[in-house]
């Protein structure tokens, strides 16, 4: 088992893990920035011994924008290999939980949840969908004479009867 300890590192000396698959939208970036502004760095970045960032790329990026020079990080007791880095990076970025909406509804203020970054649709507050209009299809046929039209109608009726009989046999 790998043991972890907390150490301060200079942000300028940290290296991004080039295979980090996680990105943030502008909205998510603003939410993270607001959270860091209000609560500080409660969730510490994870580095390898060589200062490669394994988890916390976006947090470090925001701290860098805010001209923070040092950051407390979680450091392993030994150098992790590439396979371990890839797995840990994926595990740290995996959204592994879901919300208990009953608790959110009964224990939290909706305005707070929205200001913290929830979307209205996530909370079931989105605008109800408009009922879809029924689409009516129209077919126009032209026949050269009445006999051709009657033959066509008769053939359609035969096909409809055959289809109905097949459905009764299967059903």
The count of domains in the chain is: 1
| Predicted pLDDT at 102 | 81
CATH of the domain at 22: 3.90.1530.10
The whole-number average pLDDT for the span 73-81 is 97
The whole-number average pLDDT for the span 120-137 is 73
Residue ranges making up the domain that contains 33 = 4-95
| Predicted pLDDT at 152 | 87
Q: Is residue 22 part of a domain?
A: yes
Q: Is residue 37 part of a domain?
A: yes
Do 89 and 56 meet the contact criterion of CB atoms below 8 Å apart?
no
The whole-number average pLDDT for the span 13-33 is 90
pLDDT at 83 over 70: yes
The whole-number average pLDDT for the span 122-132 is 70
Q: Chain-wide mean pLDDT for the chain?
A: 87
Q: Is residue 154 part of a domain?
A: no
The whole-number average pLDDT for the span 108-121 is 83
Lowest-confidence segment of 39-48, 56-65, 77-86, 138-147 by average pLDDT = 138-147
Q: Is residue 17 part of a domain?
A: yes
Q: Is residue 130 part of a domain?
A: no
């Amino acid at each position: 088992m790998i043991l972890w300890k907390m150490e301060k590192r200079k942000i300028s000396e940290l290296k991004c893990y080039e295979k980090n698959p996680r990105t943030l939208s502008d909205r998510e970036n603003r939410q993270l920035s607001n959270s860091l502004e209000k609560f500080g760095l409660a969730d510490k970045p994870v580095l390898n011994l060589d200062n490669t960032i394994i988890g916390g790329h976006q947090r470090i990026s925001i701290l860098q924008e805010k001209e923070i020079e040092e950051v407390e990080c979680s450091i392993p007791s030994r150098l992790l290999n590439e396979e371990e880095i890839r797995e840990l990076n994926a595990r740290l970025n995996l959204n592994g939980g879901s919300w208990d909406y009953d608790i959110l509804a009964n224990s939290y203020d909706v305005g707070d949840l929205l200001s913290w970054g929830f979307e209205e649709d996530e909370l079931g507050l989105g605008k109800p969908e408009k009922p879809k209009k029924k689409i009516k299809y129209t077919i126009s046929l032209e026949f050269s004479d009445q006999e051709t039209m009657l033959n066509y109608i008769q053939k359609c009726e035969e096909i409809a009867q055959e289809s109905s009989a097949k459905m009764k046999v299967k059903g």
